[in-house]
């Protein structure tokens, strides 16, 4: 008989304020078990340097190749403290952003990205430039296996 897992509902996790990675993938969350990501976003905590600084989100399960869950067209150029960036719609699509700590309801034509990680791994962001600044990352997720965690 197949194992059944009853999810205890959605959970949230947040990172500490992290400096932007310098044109490399920087781990923002470590995943244990199988999870279903409902939404992920970053909140600028230290103003971002005034230069083109694209960002993309990726997920990597175990030793498999990382999968981009957004493209790298979102630009953090001179983003102010409290500005929010969220990848939207399907794989390979851009991110939306809003200032002053409020992200207005996302229209149905551009819902937050959603993806399943079928095993333990990491979620990363990659920047297209070496820029100063920092952001805190938030994730809304549901466990799909017993003991699943996101830290």
Would you place residue 87 in the very low, low, confident or very high pLDDT band (cuts 50, 70, 90)? confident
On the question of pLDDT at 130 being above 80, the answer is: yes
**CB neighbours (10 Å) of residue 24?**
10
Of 33-42, 99-108, 127-136, the one with minimum mean pLDDT is 99-108
Which position has the higher pLDDT, 37 or 91?
A: 37
Q: What is the pLDDT of residue 129?
A: 93
Which residue(s) pair with 40 in the sheet? 139
Could you report the per-residue pLDDT of 25-56, keeping only the tens digit for each? 999 999 999 999 998 999 999 999 999 999 98
Q: What is the pLDDT of residue 92?
A: 45
Which position has the higher pLDDT, 88 or 149?
A: 149
Do the Cβ atoms of 140 and 38 come closer than 8 Å?
yes
* DSSP secondary structure letter of residue 75: E
Residue ranges of the domains in the chain? 22-150
Q: Is 20 helix (H, G, I), strand (E, B) or coil?
A: coil
Mean pLDDT calculated for residue range 118-129 = 94
Compute, in degrees rounded to 10, the torsion defined by CA atoms 135, 140, 142, 147.
30
Q: What is the pLDDT of residue 113?
A: 78
Q: What is the pLDDT of residue 71?
A: 80
- 98 is written with which tokens? 């809003």
Distance CA 97, CA 51 (A): 17
Closest by Cα among 95, 111, 102 to 41: 95
């Amino acid at each position: 008989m197949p194992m059944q897992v009853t999810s205890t509902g959605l959970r949230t996790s947040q990172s500490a304020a992290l400096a932007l990675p310098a044109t490399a993938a920087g781990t923002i969350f470590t995943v244990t078990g199988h999870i279903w990501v409902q939404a992920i976003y970053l909140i600028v905590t230290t103003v971002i340097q005034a230069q083109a600084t694209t960002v993309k989100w990726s997920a990597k399960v175990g030793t498999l190749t990382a999968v981009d869950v957004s493209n790298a067209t979102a630009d953090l150029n001179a983003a102010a403290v409290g500005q929010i960036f969220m990848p939207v719609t399907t794989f390979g699509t851009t991110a939306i952003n809003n200032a002053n700590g409020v992200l207005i309801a996302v229209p149905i034509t551009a819902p937050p990205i959603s993806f399943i990680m079928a095993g333990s791994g990491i979620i990363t962001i990659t920047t297209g430039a070496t820029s100063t600044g920092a952001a805190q990352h938030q994730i809304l997720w549901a466990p799909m296996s017993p003991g699943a965690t996101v830290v």
